[in-house]
Amino acid sequence: MLYHIYELQHATISPLRVAADMGKKWMRNPVNPWSYTQPGRTSAAVLDVFTHITNRYGKPEFGLDATVIDGESVPITEEVVYAEPFCRLLHFKRETAHLKQQPDDPRVLIVAPLSGHFSTLLRGTVETMLPDHDVYITDWIDARQVPVHLGHFDLDSYVDYIMRFLRHLGPNTHLIAVCQPSVPVLAAVSLMATGDEPCQPASMTLMGGPVDTRENPTEVNKFALQHDLEWFERNVISHVPLPHAGVMRRVYPGFMQLAGFMSMNWDRHVAAHHDMFTHLVEGDGESADAKRNFYQEYLAVMDMSAEFYLQTLKVVFLEHELPAGTMRWQGIPVDPSAITKTALLTVEGERDDITGMGQTRAAHKLCSNLPDNMRMHHLQSGVGHYGVFNGRRWREQISPRVKDFIRRQDHEGKGVNSAPAKPKTETEAAE
């Protein structure tokens, strides 16, 4: 019923949005004398903001057509190298045939979060890694587009997907997990280590992930603990309606997750749209477009399968199974202490209001048998959750550490003599 109300609301407001779009274009038409007046610009700005916030955005494109390697432009081709019903393994293939010296760069699998937004939210992460790495990413598929006959998808399935992708890519692959996937990534690596599989990753970087939400709990964590699993199933789970391909699939709708994100920083979002309105009135199209582009990405949301959402709530936020030592995958115990061949880097943001400080660093305590020279922690000052993997601080301060860590482990995995590791600072050294 919840989904049907949302669809009805969207259908009801669509004619108003079309009318507003036509009005906006007329108010900005050079042949209209009102377009040169303050009231005309203000009216156009109001209609522009209205069409923007009431639109429903589909999956964005990565749009990464090229990168620069050793000062030369290198075209990028997106290719799907492995596909499952709920995820595609996407490769950003660098066309380096024209380079005199072919790069021998580390192979990196970026595991994007499955938490309401599309994998394109990590566009900046991918773009920063491309010049120095062979990059793959998990491109999650909107659950409302997956027909029911293709089966279910839960947290166990997520862990299984990661292991399948690692086996497909082969040995000496490096993992980067951004936020939500930190737990399933750590679980997948633990299971592969327990089985002493040859395709265990050379390193894993966990960034802003809820490994142990008992550490420094945020408002998100507290809200989860205020309700039992039945409450969430009763109040936020719905069935996909027609005409979507996944009709009758039980999902946690993306618009519910978006509403939660927006409510956490409502004043900030209101201020951003007010600024956008002001820029439009003043004719500052560049600043208005920057706001518009960000929100076109932010407002593009996807549904998650109900079983994945509910199992994640139970395992990660309610019962803390991984740090408590009770997590199982298809009945098999998950034991991070088995990890001895995969180096670990954890990254946290000082101002992260979604994953509190200490929650990601907790992974070091779980990987108790990992040698000290294969672990590192970095706390980035002055950034919130989004800044851990995107923006200026990510590009200038966080990514160089991540790249250096991966490069050192890659050299060791390939049997290459690498330069001595830099001494760990107080914030970098893992406990």
Residues 317-356 pLDDT 10s: 999 999 999 999 999 999 999 999 999 999 999 999 999 9
Query: 332 or 431: whose pLDDT is higher?
Result: 332
Going by C-alpha positions, the residue among 152, 114, 60 that lies closest to residue 257 is: 114
CA distance 50 to 414: 55
Residues 256-275 pLDDT 10s: 887 777 776 778 888 888 88
The whole-number pLDDT of residue 229 equals 94
Q: In 3-state terms, the chain is what percent helix, strand and coil (to 5)?
A: 45, 15, 35
Residues 162-195 pLDDT 10s: 999 999 999 999 999 999 999 999 999 999 999 9
Strand stretches in 155-202, DSSP E:
173-178
Per the prediction, the chain carries an average pLDDT of: 90
Neighbours of 13 (CB within 10 A): 15
Residues 74-94 pLDDT 10s: 999 999 999 999 999 999 999
Q: Which domains does the chain have, with CATH numbers?
A: 2-56+254-298 (no CATH), 66-227+304-413 (3.40.50.1820)
The whole-number pLDDT of residue 9 equals 77
pLDDT reading at 411 higher than 80: no
Tell me the pTM: 0.88
CA distance 405 to 399: 10
Work out whether the CA dihedral 333, 336, 338, 339 comes out positive or negative.
Answer: positive
The whole-number pLDDT of residue 36 equals 86
Query: 196 or 260: whose pLDDT is higher?
Result: 196
pLDDT reading at 34 higher than 90: no
pLDDT band at 420 (very low <50, low <70, confident <90, very high): very low
Going by C-alpha positions, the residue among 404, 339, 363, 332 that lies closest to residue 181 is: 363
At 271, list the tokens.
């201020």
pLDDT reading at 424 higher than 50: no
Distances (CA, A) of 11 to 14, 18, 55: 5, 11, 11
Neighbours of 329 (CB within 10 A): 18
Residues 120-154 pLDDT 10s: 999 999 999 999 999 999 999 999 999 999 999 99
pLDDT reading at 425 higher than 60: no
Q: Which helix (H) or strand (E) holds 36?
A: none
pLDDT reading at 17 higher than 80: yes
Distances (CA, A) of 56 to 267, 308, 356, 410: 22, 24, 31, 42
pLDDT band at 419 (very low <50, low <70, confident <90, very high): very low
Burial of residue 72, with CB atoms counted within 10 A of its CB: 0-12 exposed, 13-18 middle, 19 or more buried: exposed
Going by C-alpha positions, the residue among 163, 102, 169 that lies closest to residue 135 is: 169
The whole-number pLDDT of residue 10 equals 75
pLDDT reading at 251 higher than 70: yes
Residues 371-406 pLDDT 10s: 999 999 999 999 999 999 999 999 999 999 999 999
First to last CA, the chain: 49
Burial of residue 209, with CB atoms counted within 10 A of its CB: 0-12 exposed, 13-18 middle, 19 or more buried: buried
> Which residues lie closer than 8 Å to 76 by C-beta, 6 or more apart?
64, 65, 66, 67, 92, 93, 94, 95, 130
189, 200 contact by CB (below 8 A): yes
pLDDT reading at 220 higher than 80: yes
The whole-number pLDDT of residue 413 equals 64
pLDDT reading at 241 higher than 80: yes
Query: Which contacts (CB < 8 Å, 24+ apart) does range 323-328 have?
Result: 323/211, 323/212, 323/214, 323/362, 323/365, 323/366, 327/187
